[in-house]
């Protein structure tokens, strides 16, 4: 029996992988699983919050709103993998897609947690009730703290597409743009529908 020429396959380690990718280290990509199970496991944390909110809305007796919110959240959750798979297939990079999709989902979860922490911190600062100049400065800080994760998130999506799918910077930017536009379209349609049926 011969040994594998490159040793055993690396074990998946999502936290270490995220830390590496967060600083632009491509080696983090190989620490994510590339199986169907790994993909579905990466969706669970992203689906948890919309599911809890939907159940809370349902508990209030708002059945239509709960149903539309859950459908919209499901669409927003699944659109990036669907869009990226279509692009990966078109570009002949389908074999790299599963690992990329797992990395994308975990990175979106990490960014969501970071954003919620920042919002909580700014909320605590604003609730301090300081003098007006401090409040104005805190409002500016709030805007800045919102823009930083958004800009970083766009860069991270671009980097993941380059590292995960092995495509050029231009193609990675096109994928990020397409994913954002499709997601925003669902959000706007849901908002309009919710306004008409709220």
Q: How confident is the model at residue 129 (pLDDT cuts 50, 70, 90)?
A: low
Q: Residue 20 is encoded by which pair of tokens?
A: 């590496």
Instruction: Give the pLDDT confidence of 176-188 residue by residue, as tens digits.
Output: 999 999 999 998 9
Nearby residues of 141 by Cβ (< 8 Å), 6 or more positions away? 122, 125
Instruction: Give the pLDDT confidence of 154-175 residue by residue, as tens digits.
Output: 999 999 999 999 999 999 999 9
Place of tokens 């020429």: 5
Instruction: Find the mean pLDDT for residues 103-110.
Output: 94
**Could you tell me which residue, 120 or 171, shows the higher pLDDT?**
171
Integer Cα distance of 175 and 137 in angstroms: 36
Residue-averaged pLDDT of the chain:
84
Q: What percent of the chain has pLDDT over 90?
A: 51
Backbone angles phi, psi at 89, to 5 degrees: -65, -45
Q: HSE-up of 173 (CA within 13 Å, CB side)?
A: 3
Per-residue model confidence (pLDDT) at position 142: 67
Q: Which of 162, 28, 38, 45 is closest to 108 using CA atoms? A: 45
What are the angstrom distances between the C-alpha of 119 and each of 73, 154, 160? Answer: 21, 19, 25
Q: Residue 4 is encoded by which pair of tokens?
A: 């594998």
């Amino acid at each position: 029996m011969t040994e594998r020429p490159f040793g055993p396959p690396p074990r998946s380690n999502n936290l270490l992988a995220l830390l590496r990718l967060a600083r632009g280290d491509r080696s983090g990509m190989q620490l994510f699983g590339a199986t169907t199970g790994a993909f579905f496991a990466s969706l669970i944390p992203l689906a948890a919050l919309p599911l809890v909110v939907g159940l809370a809305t349902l508990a209030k007796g708002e059945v239509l709103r709960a149903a539309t919110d859950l459908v919209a959240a499901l669409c927003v959750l699944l659109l990036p993998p669907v869009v990226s798979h279509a692009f990966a297939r078109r570009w002949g990079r389908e074999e790299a897609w599963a690992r990329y999709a797992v990395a994308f989902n975990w990175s979106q979860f990490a960014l969501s947690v970071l954003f919620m922490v920042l919002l909580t911190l700014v909320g605590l600062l604003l609730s301090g009730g300081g003098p007006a100049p401090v409040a104005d400065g805190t409002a500016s800080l709030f805007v800045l703290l919102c823009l930083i994760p958004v800009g970083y998130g766009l860069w991270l999506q671009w980097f993941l597409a380059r590292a995960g799918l092995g495509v050029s910077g231009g193609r990675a930017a096109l994928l990020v743009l397409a994913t954002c536009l499709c997601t925003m379209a669902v959000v706007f349609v849901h908002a309009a529908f919710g306004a008409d049926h709220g």
